[in-house]
Each structure stands twice: as C-alpha cells, then as structure tokens.
Chains A and B, each alone.
Chain A
Amino acid sequence: MHVLREDHDDRDESAAASAAPRKLGRAIVITSGKGGVGKTTTTANVGTALARRGARVALIDADVGLRNLDIVLGLESRVKYHVLDVLEEKATLDDALVTDKHSENLVLLAAAQSREKDEVDTEKMVALVRALQERFDYVLIDCPAGIELGFKNAVAGAQEAIVVCTPEVSSVRDVDRVVGLLGNAFKPQLIINRLRPQLVKKGKMLSVEDVNGILHLPLLGVIADEPEIIVTTNKGEPLALRTEGETAHAYHAIAARIAGDDVPAPTVEVKEESFFGKIGSIFGGRRA
C-alpha cells in the first residue's frame, strides 16, 4: 500500500499537467479464473471510477473472441479497430482507441471478435501495454476466464492484479488457483462481487470474512449483488458514473484505494426490508 500511495502522489501531479512527460502508468490485470463473476463489469466500473477522479485510464479487452467490454461501456458502435489490428499493425493505437462517451480521460481498446485467443503474440501484447502505460495513468486489462493462453497473454503486460471473486465455493477455489499462478509479484488485491448481505446474515452465503479468511488478500472492495448493475449494463452506462448510491460509492472507494487513498474498510450494509417488501415476500411465499 505504501507503494500505491507514492504512485498516487505522482499521479495527481501528472493528471494536473497531462502534457508533461509522465512516469509509466500502472498496468493492472482484472482476473478471476472462473467466468461469469463480473470481471468485465468490474473493469468498466473501476475504469470509470478512476477516470472520474481525473486519472487517464485505458481499458484493454483481452478476451479475444468474446468481446464484451465495449457493450458494457456502451461503446460498441464506435469500435472500428481492435487489439489484434494494433498488434498486427493494421491500425495505429490512436485509430483503435475509442474514447468514452462520458469521460475524455477514459479510452477503450476493444477485443477482436472473430479471432482466436492463440492468435495473440505475447511479446507484442506486452509492448502494447507498455506503450499505453507511457500515455495513461492506469491500464486496466480485462482478462478472459480460464488459465490458458488468453489468461497468460492478458497477464503478461501487467504488473499488478485485481482478482474478482463471488461468495461461492467455485469462485473462491478458482481465485485461489489464479493467485497461486500469479504469485506475489502481481500484488493481487481482492474485490468481492455480488455479495448478498441478507443471505450472509441468514448464514446462507459466505461472508466477506469467510472468503478472505481463505484467500488472505488485501481487500479492495465489496460490491453487493444489486439489480441496478444489470440495469446499467443493459443501458451501457456503468453504475460508477452515478454520484449517489451505495454501489456507486463502493466503486468510487475502490478507485480511491487503487490510487492509494486511505479509505475506510469496505463493508456492505444489510438493508432492512421495507414493510411492503416483507408483505410482498409473504404473499409471494404463499403463492409459491
């Protein structure tokens, strides 16, 4: 965390004077092993939240063949070139970078849709990440599921890792495996995603303490399983764009922690069900 804090101080200065020669940005891979735990949503929201703070952020969709980060960000219609076009020098980096609708600070490099993961040249990928690090404060790499070549290529250019874990046995096990593969060099930090506080309270879901009692990773944030995340994904407008709301704040806090700010420990509050909500569930229960 000390390292992060030092970086942050430099970042603030460089963000203020963006024309000045900057130090290399931080390349962070967002990974999980298991699919469907919310890596892409996390990348979109954390990227949005970092850009909201004034940092210059590049997002790379490394899930070649299964492009998704563009649609989650609502940028699908603007993508002209993709990662492989740049790697194969069919397009320049500037041609391929898509600027976000909401923030000038945020750009996307989309994945190739009709190509295979094994077509990516690892060394060229590392060079690409490096080139982006020279221009941006943060390079977030959205890693594909699995631990095969796609994972290796996504990880190759990164120096840090964020692992996304849901409070499920399968996800925890896969994160454990991925962290083992990454080793300490990547300083992996944990985001617990899709936590349902009500279920945790009832003892029907692994708690934050349960999950991290097993993984023992620095906890970057906890994101509740909130219907609004689905709504924002539907619209292609990341939740982190909002200024209000518990989950939006949770993403902002994650961005602050990444930047090295001393933010209070992440928690998710158990909301008391409203009277009408209870009535509704009682009737719902009876009907079922």
Chain B
Amino acid sequence: MMEWVKRVFGAQNSSSTAKERLRLVLMTDHLALAPEIIENMKRDLVDVISRYVEVDREKVEVNFEREDRALAMLANIPIVSVNRPSPPPAPPTKPPEIKDEPPAVAKAAEAPPVRRRRRRKPPGATPVATPPKPAAANP
C-alpha cells in the first residue's frame, strides 16, 4: 500500500534511491578494502571487552551488514567466563593480567604488543602527562 502511494505521488525519486544505495555500497566497499583496519578494530574491541569478561579470542567474529538505511557492525564475541581472575579497573596492572590467563598463553604472546600499543595512548599520555598534571593540580 505504501509502495503504491509512493509510486502514485512520486514520493521518492529513483535518483535519491540510487544515491542512498551508492552511499551504503561504497561504505561497505571501503571497509572491505581495508582489512588491516578491520583487524585492528577487532583487536581493540576484544581488548576492551576482555577488561571485564574473559572472551574466546579465536572465535571472535566481526561482520558488517547493510540494513535498510545504514551500515551495521555485528560482533559475535563468545564469553568464556564472566569472572575476571584479577581486578580489572586499574590500567597499569593490566599487562600482568594477560599473563595470568592460562588458556591464552600463545595468544598472550601476540596480544601484548597490541595491548601495549593501545594502552600506550592513555598511559603513554599519563607518563608524559603525569608531571604536568600534578603540577597543574598543585597550584
């Protein structure tokens, strides 16, 4: 019925349909052309979630799907355990945490550089920013 109404009143021009379809398909194309970016994003995503729950890195799946008017990222991240072995919140204690993971020994070997790189931004900013911060806090 709506289709019929649209057709009769010309509510949507085919050129705007073309434009919309192109916008979406190019987004998907560009994502497909940047696998290393997707991989990095996937790793970062898993890193963040791993702070709170233990996940099965091997089985993580990240896909992009088109839904009507938008592109959706669908991540399937299997949770192995809801209880993290060590307290999660403090960022500096994290590198040892990874070592605590018994099943992820091999993964931990490849994970740390990534993790460090990721965290280096907040803590990397912290060591540099630490001296100025107290200095700024003191006065």
The docked-state distance in angstroms from the alpha carbon of A80 to that of B33 is 43
Q: List the count of A-B residue pairs having beta carbons below 8 Å apart.
A: 39
Q: List A contacts of B21 (CB < 8 A).
A: 169
Contact between A204 and B22, CB atoms less than 8 A apart: no
Q: List B contacts of A168 (CB < 8 A).
A: 18
Which among A129-137, A170-178, A246-254, A256-264 touches the partner chain?
A170-178
The docked-state distance in angstroms from the alpha carbon of A180 to that of B33 is 9
Contact between A203 and B25, CB atoms less than 8 A apart: no
Contact between B19 and A177, CB atoms less than 8 A apart: no
Which among A205-213, A237-245, A279-287 touches the partner chain?
A205-213
Contact between A214 and B14, CB atoms less than 8 A apart: no
The docked-state distance in angstroms from the alpha carbon of A115 to that of B23 is 39
**A169-B21, A180-B33 are contacts. A203–B15 as well, Cβ < 8 Å?**
yes
B23 to chain A: closest residue by CB: A214
**A173-B22, A214-B19 are contacts. A203–B29 as well, Cβ < 8 Å?**
no
Contacting residue for B13 out of A173, A177, A204, A213, CB 8 A: A204
Q: Decide if A200 is an interface residue (CB 8 Å cutoff).
A: yes
The docked-state distance in angstroms from the alpha carbon of A204 to that of B14 is 5
Q: Decide if B138 is an interface residue (CB 8 Å cutoff).
A: no
Q: What's the tally of chain B residues with a CB closer than 8 Å to chain A? A: 15
Q: List B contacts of A180 (CB < 8 A).
A: 30, 33
Contact between A173 and B14, CB atoms less than 8 A apart: no
CB distance from B113 to the nearest CB of A (A): 29
Most chain A CB atoms below 10 A, which of B21, B22, B23, B29: B22
Interface residues of A (CB under 8 A from B): 168-169, 172-173, 176-177, 180, 200, 202-207, 210, 213-214
Interface residues of B (CB under 8 A from A): 10, 13-16, 18-19, 21-23, 25-26, 29-30, 33
A-B pairs with beta carbons under 8 Å apart, 22 shown: A168-B18, A169-B21, A169-B22, A169-B25, A173-B22, A173-B25, A173-B26, A173-B29, A176-B29, A177-B29, A200-B15, A202-B13, A203-B15, A203-B16, A204-B13, A206-B15, A206-B22, A210-B15, A210-B18, A214-B19, A214-B22, A214-B23
The 3 A-B residue pairs whose C-beta atoms are closest, nearest first, are A203-B13, A210-B19, A203-B15
